Structures are given as C-alpha cells and as structure tokens.
C-alpha cells in the first residue's frame, strides 16, 4: 500500500497549470506534516502555504525559475526555527501539560535538562537540528501527497535568504529549508514522467549485523 | 488511512522483549526507506540493521541505557555520508544511466554542476546536507513501521561517536545520525502508551498566503 504510493510518486518536473489541488487534500497533507514526530516533541518548524500567484511569481524568481512554483496550485515552504529559546521550549511544556492533564515535575525536569543542553549551543547548531526535524515533516508531506494522488516536487533548489525576505520569515525567527509545490503532473510535457525510478540496490544501501 | 496510521504510532518507550518483528515486515520498512526521495537522487546515507544481541547491548550502553535497543528485535541505524566525493556522485550518474538507458550529456552536465557546488564545500556542510536527507528516510521508516503495525522509536538520544566506533562506520565514510528500534509495545509497561499525542494547533503551525 505505502510502497505502491511511493512507487507512484516522483519529483514532478512539469505541472498542469489548469488544475488545482482541492483544499481537503491540502488539509490532509498539512495534517500529516503536523503529526510528524520530532525530537523531544519540539516541532521546531512551521509550514507556509502560498497560493497567491503574485507571491509565487516572486518566489519562482528566487527558485531558479522552476515552473512548478507557479504551475502547481499550492506551494509549501518548510521553515525551521532559527534557534531554540527558553520561550519556545516553555511553549512545548505548556502544550504537553494541557494535553496530558497537567505540568508534572518529570515534564519540567525533562525540558529543563533539554534547555541546559540546547540553549548554550551556537545558533547554527540548533538551526541545523531544527532543519533535520523539518525534513521528517518533508518526508511525511511527500508521502501524504502520494496518498492523496497529488503530485509534488520536494525541492532544495531555491535561495533561502530571498525566500525568507519575501515571506518575512526572519522576523518570525524562521528560516526556509525546503519547499514543495503541490499540483498535478502535465503527463505529456514532463520528461521525467514514466522514467524508471533510480535507487541504489538494497545490498549497497543496507547492512545487516546478525548474530553469528 | 495515512492519518489513522500516524495517529496510531507513538515513540514507544517500553517494548516487549518476547516479541520479534517478522522479517517480511522489516523488509517492507527498509524498502520504504530505500524509496525515499533525496536531493538530486544522491541517497547520501545507509541503513544498518542490527539484530545481534551482543552488539545491541553495546549500543544500548552508548544510548543512555534505553531499553528499546535490546527489547525491540531490530535496531535501525541511519548513517549519513560524511562528505560528498567525486566517486560517490559518479556512482549516482552510473546508476541513473543504467536505469534510464544510458549516460546522457544532460545527465553528466547536471551532476558536474553539482560537483562544482558540493566538492569545494567544507565537509561539515556536506555532512549536514546528507544528514537532512537521512531524516527524510527516517520519516518514511516510521510511517512504514506504522503501516506494518510495528512499533518504533525514532531516537537521537545516543552517542554518535561511540555508535560509529562500535559499528565501524567512519572507515566506511559514514556517521550515525538517528536510530530506530523496531518491536512491539509492552502495552502495560509503557507509560506513554495511551497518552494523548501532543502537537501544536494548526493555527500555530501553518500560515496561509492567499490572494487578497
């Protein structure tokens, strides 16, 4: 089931600009991203969903003119926290307390130890850690899109500083790390459609360490 | 369907040591990881599957004694490439040519440009880039486990240098970045089983930019 969906999907190179992804499918994809687990439950990223054609045109200029940004109907921008802060970690403690019937000593103890580890670290180390968590979300997003029979293109080929500028991310403590247009493939116009999927053979990808 | 599986799964804290994950389920999980898309198709990571109890006992000592490493039946170690090299990128060109009927000029041109960007960068930048890709694989792994009704615990709480040493990863140009025990929850013994899932509300996680 999952495997079949993963084989169906591919990094769509040409989308049909006449087709729009229904909002309920976009919602399902966003919900999968929101459910993605992250380190210590921090969810250290946000998702910006851009449909505005003018904004997407500007973003396309900052993404090496890749047409999927405007030919798709929705553009997802994954924006990681620029750093960990006391307030952000306290927010997680509060939310956890709310969901699980109160802020316990074990809960605050855990996150106090986390603060002790994360807050003294260089901002760039914390950002990289947050970015990795955003990539779990990216994995969920592309999987969810495949389940919704929506085409998508996970992309790093864009200029993050320009995206941050256009979307006003830095003042919100966010930095764009990956983007994903959603839309429907232009089956005729996409050179990659129908091409074999390329993956290393399992024996070059997986090592087993079993008891002798 | 996907959403239901994502709500079912949780970071299992206590696994039942008497239960083993059937090999066909492990294979399905590994295949989902192998199908994970990565930047420019590089697949810059490998997966080590450890069942050997003695090796897992050593790894547990390097993972703050977390019991899932030995109470599960399989331990997945995600190990990212320590750097990009000409040989590694050439390997991708060769595989792509094999799968798609020949090495074209467009293909070599694309990867030559990639080499021009990646090879001069500091090793740590390339490693971080590779690590992010491994996290897409981690996202697929935890999703696939949920589909197979297998419990899992995505983890960063381990000492990567010790893991690399025990598994002989550095001499293979690999560095461990995340681990994931597979097994079956000890429903009675796991304090986290049945607890509410904690996620930020959608309105604190998602921003929409629609045309006015």
Complex ipTM value: 0.98
Residue B44 lies in a domain: yes
| pLDDT number for residue A204 | 97
pLDDT lower than 50: segments of chain B: none
Q: Tell me if chain A has a CB within 8 Å of the CB of B133.
A: yes
Domain membership of residue A100 (yes or no) is no
Tell me whether B200 touches chain A (CB under 8 Å).
Answer: yes
Distance of residue B58 Cα from the nearest chain A Cα, in angstroms: 13
By the CB < 8 Å criterion, does A205 face chain B?
Answer: yes
Instruction: Note which residues in 53-72 of chain B have CB less than 8 A from chain A.
Output: 53-55
Residue A46 near residue B202, CB atoms below 8 Å: no
Domains of chain A: total = 1
Q: Is A171 on the interface with B (CB under 8 A)?
A: no
- A106-139 per-position pLDDT tens digit: 999 999 999 999 999 999 999 999 999 999 999 9
Confidence of residue A212 (pLDDT cuts 50, 70, 90): confident
* A49 to B209: CB separation less than 8 angstroms, yes or no: yes
pTM of the predicted protein model = 0.98
Residue A205 to residue B34, Cβ atoms within 8 A: yes
Would A152 be classed as within a structural domain?
yes
Is residue A93 domain-resident? no
Task: Confirm whether A107 is domain-assigned.
Answer: no
Q: Is B41 on the interface with A (CB under 8 A)?
A: yes
Please, what's the b/e burial string for B87-102 (b: 16 or more CB within 10 A of its CB; e: otherwise)? ebbeebbebbeeeeee
- Say what the pLDDT of residue B212 is: 85
Q: How many CB atoms lie within 10 A of CB B108?
A: 14
CATH at B184: 3.40.109.10
- Asked whether residue A141 is domain-assigned, the answer is yes
Residue A195 DSSP code: P
Could B140 and A6 be called an inter-chain contact, meaning their C-beta atoms sit closer than 8 Å? yes
Mean pLDDT of A20-42: 98
Q: List chain B residues with CB under 8 Å of A41.
A: 198
Give the count of beta carbons closer than 10 Å to the beta carbon of residue B182.
27
DSSP state of B52: -
Establish if A192 belongs to a structural domain.
yes
Domain with B80, as residue range(s), is 2-84+121-205
A101 within a domain of the structure (yes/no): no
Residue A52's closest CA among A34, A28, A69, A33? A69
Mean pLDDT for all residues in chain B: 97
The pLDDT mean for chain A works out to 97
């Amino acid at each position: 089931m999952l495997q079949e969906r993963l084989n169906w999907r591919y990094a769509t190179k040409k989308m049909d600009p006449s087709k729009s992804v229904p909002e309920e499918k976009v919602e399902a994809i966003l919900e999968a991203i929101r459910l993605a687990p992250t380190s210590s439950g921090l969810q250290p990223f946000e998702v910006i969903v851009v449909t505005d054609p003018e904004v997407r045109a500007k973003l396309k200029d900052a993404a090496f003119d890749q047409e999927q940004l405007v030919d798709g109907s929705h553009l997802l921008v994954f924006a990681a926290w620029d750093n960990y802060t006391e307030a952000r970690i306290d927010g997680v403690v509060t939310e956890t307390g709310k969901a699980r019937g109160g802020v316990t000593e074990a809960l605050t103890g855990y996150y106090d130890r986390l603060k002790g580890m994360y807050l003294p670290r260089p901002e760039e180390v914390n950002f990289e850690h947050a970015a990795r968590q955003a990539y779990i979300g990216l994995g969920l997003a592309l999987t969810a899109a495949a389940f919704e029979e929506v085409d998508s293109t996970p992309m790093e080929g864009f200029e993050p500083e320009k995206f941050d500028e256009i979307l006003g991310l830095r003042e919100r403590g966010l930095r764009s790390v990956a983007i994903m247009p959603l839309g429907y493939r232009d089956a005729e116009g996409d050179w990659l459609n129908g091409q074999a999927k390329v993956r290393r053979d399992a024996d070059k990808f997986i090592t087993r360490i079993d008891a002798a």
